[in-house]
């Protein structure tokens, strides 16, 4: 038996990840159904990303490497 999951119907990304992790942990076979992103959603995502960068909400590659070294 295989479960088919329409991730687009689960809006909360943490709930999506929880479900996927739970199914993997229980070794339940599943298939994700993902719909292509609309052009409008693509533009919204780009605008959100640009706004985060302009607000200084990012980490440089060098800072990320330094953070990883602390792990």
Cα–Cα distance, 9 to 19 (Å, whole number): 13
Domain count, the chain: 2
Domain that holds residue 1: 1-35
pLDDT for the residue numbered 47:
96
Structure tokens at 20: 């996927």
Q: Above 90 in pLDDT, residue 55? A: yes
pLDDT for the residue numbered 36:
81
Q: Are residues 11 and 28 in the same domain?
A: yes
Q: Are residues 68 and 43 in the same domain?
A: yes
pLDDT for the residue numbered 67:
87
Q: Are residues 1 and 31 in the same domain?
A: yes
Q: Are residues 5 and 31 in the same domain?
A: yes
Give the rounded distance of the alpha carbon of 45 from its chain centre: 12
Q: How confident is the model at residue 7 (pLDDT cuts 50, 70, 90)?
A: confident
pTM reported for the whole predicted model: 0.45
Q: Above 70 in pLDDT, residue 1? A: no
Cα–Cα distance, 30 to 13 (Å, whole number): 18
Q: Are residues 40 and 69 in the same domain?
A: yes
Q: Are residues 26 and 40 in the same domain?
A: no
């Amino acid at each position: 038996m295989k479960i088919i999951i329409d991730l687009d119907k689960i809006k909360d990304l943490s709930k999506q990840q929880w479900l996927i992790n739970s199914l993997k942990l229980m070794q339940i076979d599943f298939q994700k159904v993902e719909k292509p992103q609309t052009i409008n959603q693509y533009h919204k995502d780009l605008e959100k990303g640009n706004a985060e960068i302009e607000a200084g909400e990012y980490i440089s590659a060098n800072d990320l490497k330094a953070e990883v070294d602390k792990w």
